[in-house]
Amino acid sequence: ILFGGKNTGKKTLVHAFINHLFSISSNDIHIQNITKTYKYKTSSYTCFFKQCNYYYEIDCLENIKTIKHIINHFIPQLCSNQTLHNNYRIIIIHNIDCIHQDNLKALTYIIEKFYTCNKFIIVSNNINTPVYNSKIFNLCFSIRSYINKKELKQYIVHTKKKFTEKIKHKILQC
């Protein structure tokens, strides 16, 4: 679980981790935005996700109307398929803090059931959510993402970009 405030670099950390994990550069990753309609029981639903050779990326906020079907049908279907080269699959789930407690329980069950071939990276913006009171929090290693003011100040001073003093002051205040 990677959590922290808005604009603290959570997505950047996730992508840097994947680049490190597979020893690739970000130029070698060709991400596809996919929209698919699936049939689940008696109804159909549309799922929006990103896919590349290294991971799947699902945004709960983008799929808020169909997240129940995505957790109960799409993710288990994805996890149950065999991976290429007997390697594990990475599934990144963004904005986990916007889903209902029942869906968290279902996702916890999926993580427990399919953990051998699938690794989950869960990203959350809000610290005060049911995620941190659920079993899913105990299954995961938690990392807090935040901006260090000293590092930010060093970056602003040593960057080749030219900022006015007014802009530098505003950046450091945010």
Instruction: Dump pLDDT digits (tens) for 73-125.
Output: 999 999 988 766 667 889 999 998 888 888 888 999 999 999 888 999 999 88
Residue in this structure with the two tokens 């690739």, named with its chain if needed: 24
Q: Distance between CA atoms of 144 and 13, rounded to whole angstroms?
A: 11
131 has pLDDT over 70:
no
Q: For all residues of the chain together, what is the average pLDDT? A: 85
Instruction: Dump pLDDT digits (tens) for 1-13.
Output: 888 888 788 888 8
Neighbours of 61 (CB within 10 A): 13
* Interval 34-57 mean pLDDT: 93
Which of 44, 58, 50 lies closest to 29 in space, CA to CA? 50
* Interval 149-157 mean pLDDT: 77
Enter the DSSP assignment of 74.
I
Asked if 79 and 109 count as a contact pair (C-beta separation under 8 A), the reply is no
